Structure 1
């Protein structure tokens, strides 16, 4: 992979990271500012459900932050774009679709098949 492609992925990963951090900050601000009281228990239940859903999303994004940081480190270390299982190149198309991936299509397919056979 050439330097131009690596720069593209670094920029995309950093932009994704910035967006996730911004959403997290907005969620914190929304939750600290919303001192709403609800007369109707159904409204309160809906608000609590929405809040719980938002927190689950932020938790998933927290996990994605770690993957993004690891991908940026792989760029720095010169390991980005190589499958950790077989060592082959990961296709540019796959990296564009999921830049945090560490497996090529063949190895990921094999992994999913093994998980399915184990019943996971």
Structure 2
């Protein structure tokens, strides 16, 4: 598998260069590309949903309804991702991108390369997931 040279260039920069103009431009480009990809896929999902709604075959209705349910879940996930991308792009404009919303500490290039929409550092994200898990257990969901 070929490594992304742009990502490697970001990783090769010294820590003192964290969230410099080049890194911000790199992540902005990644986020814009991801947004375009998600929007295009979401349009395909919308068309598939519209096509399913026109299908009138009663014999296959259960299969069609299950496929429609899956498409709606996918559209919901992608809509939430679009909101996260928009938030990350706003954070770039405001100068907050790359820093944890909870602690103010750097999120880290490695984490941002894997998840450019990350707004929490790894430690804060782990605390959040533990709180959510504890909350769901206390409600009897887990």
What's the TM-score, normalizing by structure 2? 0.75
Structure 2, unaligned stretches of length 5 or more? 1-18
Displacement of 1:75 after TM fit?
A: 0.4
Indicate the SS of the match to 1:83. coil
| Residue matched to 2:48 | 30
Cα separation, 1, equivalents of 2:130 and 2:51: 46
Which 4+ stretches in 1 moved above 4 angstroms? none
| Residue matched to 2:20 | 2
The worse-fitting range, judged by mean Cα deviation, of 91-100 and 25-34 is 25-34
Cα separation, 2, equivalents of 1:37 and 1:89: 54
| Residue matched to 1:17 | 35
What's the TM-score, normalizing by structure 1? 0.87
| Residue matched to 2:109 | 92
| Residue matched to 2:64 | 47
Supply the RMSD in Å over aligned alpha carbons. 1.7
Displacement of 1:39 after TM fit?
A: 4.9
Cα separation, 1, equivalents of 2:110 and 2:58: 52
